[in-house]
Structure 1
Amino acid sequence: MKKPFWSIPALFLFVNLFGNSSFGQQVTPAAESAKGVYQYRQAAYDGIGKTYMGREISQVMGHLGAAWLERPEREQEERTDLLLEAINLKPTDVVADVGAGTGYFTFLMAPNVPKGKVLAVDIEQAMINDLNQTKKKTGFKNVEPVLGTITDPKLPANGVDMAIMIDAYHEFSHPREMMTHIVRALKPGGRVVLVEYRAEDPNVPIKPHHKMSVAQATKEMKAVGLSLKSVYRKLPQQHVLIFQK
């Protein structure tokens, strides 16, 4: 079986090149440590030295990695068709794609919510520019790019049926703040979907801090009032974790 091109050592090079270009890890360690939410230590080679609930937050990928997000082989490597099946969108759903990047999955979801919309959230203006360009090219009027911040995705309160984060949550420099805002944005019965590379599987060729286990994700979502409802395991290397209030 052919390994994806980001396997060792390609991903090492990729994250080292682009790992500090996005989620703006300007932090105030003393203040955050005093609150007891985050702690700090010597950074691992693929981490930022900031920990949350025992997990070191990973380095991040920004606009310089846009070509990787849009690679032609992504559909087959990640089986995005199965991911669409797993999240079971309704035509009227309002979906927040948090950490949307170039909008690769945003524009796959858009046709499935013709009476709803996709809020494509990113914190980089360059990504928002890409999203707007693709929206113009594709003609999807139900896609709305949203410029968020490292602590707030800028979503409408009680206005979202589903918030999905695809290989993004583990990179959030302020996960507690981000998730608190996301939970507030959920409608009654709304869902949070995390798509993450499986930390439980040593054969998944991704750097350790860019993976998440079901147990760790469940613990972190519980801290903001969410409980695990289901786990979809049919993707080649990722699991799809679905949470609700």
Structure 2
Amino acid sequence: MSHHPRRFWRVVPPWTWGGVMLALVAWMTSLWAATVPLQETNVAPGINKEYTRTNLNVERWVQNFERESREIYAQRDKIVETLQLKRGMRVADVGAGSGLFTVLFAHAVGPRGKVYAVDIAPAFLRHIEQRSREEGLKQIQTVLGTERSTQLPANSVELVFVCDTYHHFEYPQSTLASIHRALRSKGKLVVIDFHRVPGKSPDWILNHVRAGQEVFAREIEAAGFQRLPDPPQEFLKENYLMVFVKRAR
């Protein structure tokens, strides 16, 4: 019997190496695809230009966002009630703007909870930070997002709230991928946006919002989420509310 160790390349027939390499490449490709969206084109060029200006007039936008004639503001308490937030929860308000819902969420989750206020406008985040200090809401943390990412930590939240902001996502698949990473197992994504129905919706919505509810729903499902039955929302007329749960990839 030979005492020389049997070499690996003598054990594995040479013709199998091609299959091994193909399998390895396929595995690496699938792993990459599960974490990084394919190269996207900007679906809403320039839609956020106003918010990223260095001289953004925050007070004007606060007055615009927090007025009784705006359905979302008028129905804010019912919206928060629909979310069924619990004390100690960790949530994210993506597209936080004036901090309207950020503050409401902070009161709902309590001092042991956590609320991430995410926005691409530094001026809005400074406003939220000041408001948090004035109200003693230490559970609020601001996060400067980008056009492609929420910049939320991985597995950091149980619920992500996106209100009248999804249509502002310039790179929705990349942004949704960052939300998927941020959500914990079975975490929920709640999206509120404008009804966009040709022939019924006002011209400003038809010109400003790029697509309707079902198109947005399909995009979100394609990003690794499962749509749940819509909760009761008779209090909303101009907007709709959808709930999704994170699927394991």
Contact between 2:186 and 2:245, CA under 8 Å: does it hold in 1? yes
Q: 1:71 to 1:117 in 2, by over 3 A?
A: same
Residue 178 (structure 2) pairs with residue 193 (structure 1): no
> Which of 79-88 and 206-215 deviates more?
206-215
Shift of residue 192 of structure 1?
0.6
Instruction: With the length of structure 1 as denominator, give the TM-score of the two structures.
Output: 0.72
Report the counterpart of residue 28 of structure 1 in structure 2: none
1:174-209 deviation digits (Å, cap 9, x = unpaired) = 111111011001011100111001124854445113
| Structure number with bigger Rg | 2
Matched to 1:166, the amino acid is: C
Whole-angstrom distance in 2 between the partners of 1:89 and 1:164: 11
> Which of 82-91 and 161-170 deviates more?
82-91
Whole-angstrom distance in 2 between the partners of 1:140 and 1:204: 38
Alignment of 1:127-146 (within 5 A): 127-146=124-143
> Any gaps of 5 or more consecutive residues in structure 2?
1-37
Residue 232 (structure 2) pairs with residue 244 (structure 1): no
Q: 1:201 to 1:164 in 2, by over 3 A?
A: farther
Contact between 1:91 and 1:116, CA under 8 Å: does it hold in 2? yes
Whole-angstrom distance in 2 between the partners of 1:104 and 1:146: 16
Shift of residue 131 of structure 1?
0.6
Report the counterpart of residue 37 of structure 1 in structure 2: 40
Identity percentage over the alignment? Answer: 31
Report the counterpart of residue 178 of structure 1 in structure 2: 175
Select the residue among 65, 80, 84 that pairs with 1:84: 80
Instruction: Give the helix-richer structure, 1 or 2.
Output: 2
Report the counterpart of residue 218 of structure 2 in structure 1: 219
Shift of residue 130 of structure 1?
0.4
Instruction: Give the strand-richer structure, 1 or 2.
Output: 1
Report the counterpart of residue 157 of structure 1 in structure 2: 154
Whole-angstrom distance in 2 between the partners of 1:75 and 1:109: 18
Q: 1:145 to 1:76 in 2, by over 3 A?
A: closer
Matched to 2:245, the amino acid is: Q
Instruction: With the length of structure 2 as denominator, give the TM-score of the two structures.
Output: 0.71
SS at match of 1:105: helix
Shift of residue 213 of structure 1?
2.9
Matched to 1:37, the amino acid is: E
> Any gaps of 5 or more consecutive residues in structure 1?
1-34, 39-49
